[in-house]
Amino acid sequence: MHKFLLLIIVSIVLSACTAARLPQVKRQITAELEREQYSEQFTGLLVIDPQTKDTIIAKNSAKYFIPASTVKLFTLYAANKLLSDKIPSLNYVESNDSLYIKGTGDPTWLHPYFKDSTALSFLKNTPKPVVLYLDNFEDGPFGPGWAWEDYQYYFSPELGPMPLYGNVVTIYEGETLEVSPSDFAKHIKRSKPTALRALHRNEFTIPKFLKDTLQIPFITSPELTKKFLQKSLKREIYLSKKTSNEPYKVLYGISTDSLFKRMLYESDNFIAEQLMLLASSSLSDSLSFKNTRNFILDNHLSNLRQEPRWVDGSGLSRYNLFTPESMVSVLHKLYAEIDRQRLFDLLPAWNSNGTVKKPNSTTEYFIFAKSGSMGNTYNLSGYLKTKSGRIFIFSFMNNHFRIPSKEVRLQIEKTLTSLHDAY
């Protein structure tokens, strides 16, 4: 009996200590956000408890920020809403004399990471002539507001209805120079490159001594798509400006979550953009980022209090504008609609060094989030596990700073760690 009373007393004392500590932590974080460092940049923070609906911390949470790659959380939400557990790899219809096909935006065909062969095997085994239709893509090869000089870098491949090889040429040094697709080998020269690729031609320049694997976007075209398909399938493909009026069937490929993980762990811009096109294939015959965005905003996110300016799926564009509150709202919806284990498996762990791609089994991570960075911008939005086991949803956005990003990441980690320890 005495032991029972003692336990009650200890519990009350500990609860009182914890309750007294919480306002202090909030005051410390609020004071920290008023430091000189933050007066020279634009910062927003929102932390909520999804169970109690309480707001833990809020600063500039309804203000608009350039989100960078945290936009991929909206892409995750849209694609999860519109796609099944396997991605639609190909649309096809058989006529009496031909097999008509059109792309869905599936980025995995001959991709250097995925290397999915579902659709290719299907086309190899059909006895009928294959007629390829590529005019169902409504967007351009790049998103609005993308930096034009990024055309040569791996993170900015062209977009399209049926991308092959990830729309990049992969180059690495083996016993000889290895190039994929091999057709580009004769268009590569070794020199001190001023640019990795000519602006308007598929001509590439690489260093004389290549230490790492290079991936350089190539200029796509219907003719090039046809050429690569024919070579891979070892059969004739016929390009057509017309398509069948019969209802198309869907051939499904690899798991959708495999694309989600690649997008979130590697912050893969190409996968993010193509996921928005894949999602649009479930809505109409046309592939368009705008179709997916408008449908999601009108039907599933119409209650956002600050309507975002959402112009691409990856966050490459500085035209994007989102608030911490909007980020938290979408994270809250994901938390309510996706199984907890699956959700935390999709999102990478994070610390002040950035995304943890290969978690150490001896380390207990408590931040699971998507980061977003570009010049003078670093944002982090996701979930925080506290010491007591509670889950908080947060969005910490930082724009227009002139200090190194490492210092911003350290401050984010310090703030979130203090909340983890206090709760």
What does each of the 423 residues of the chain score in pLDDT, given as a tens digit? 555 444 444 344 444 444 445 678 888 888 888 776 778 899 999 999 999 999 999 999 999 999 999 999 999 999 999 999 999 999 999 998 999 999 999 999 999 999 789 999 999 999 999 999 999 999 999 999 999 999 999 999 999 999 999 999 999 998 899 999 999 999 999 998 899 999 999 999 999 989 899 999 999 999 999 999 999 999 999 999 999 989 999 999 999 999 999 999 999 999 999 999 999 999 999 999 999 999 999 999 999 999 999 999 999 999 999 999 999 999 999 999 999 999 999 999 999 999 988 777 778 899 999 999 999 999 999 999 999 999 999 999 999 999 999 999 999 999 999 999 999
What pLDDT shows up at residue 1? Answer: 52
What does DSSP assign to residue 145? T
CA angle 331, 334, 338 (to 5 degrees): 150
What pLDDT shows up at residue 190? Answer: 94
Question: Among 138, 170, 180, 397, which Cα is nearest to 289's?
Answer: 138
Q: Strand ranges (DSSP E) for 324-388?
A: 349-351, 354-356, 367-374, 377-385
Peptide bond into 308 cis (omega under 30): no
| Tokens at 17, concatenated | 């200590």
What pLDDT shows up at residue 287? Answer: 98
What pLDDT shows up at residue 359? Answer: 75
| Tokens at 44, concatenated | 């927003």
Do 118 and 112 form a contact (C-beta atoms < 8 A)?
no
What pLDDT shows up at residue 21? Answer: 55
d(CA 367, CA 63): 24
What does DSSP assign to residue 68? G
d(CA 355, CA 264): 9
Question: Among 423, 303, 337, which Cα is nearest to 52's?
Answer: 423
Question: Among 278, 358, 263, which Cα is nearest to 314's?
Answer: 263
What pLDDT shows up at residue 73? Answer: 98
d(CA 9, CA 231): 77
Burial of 274 (0-12, 13-18, 19+ CB in 10 A): buried
d(CA 193, CA 197): 9
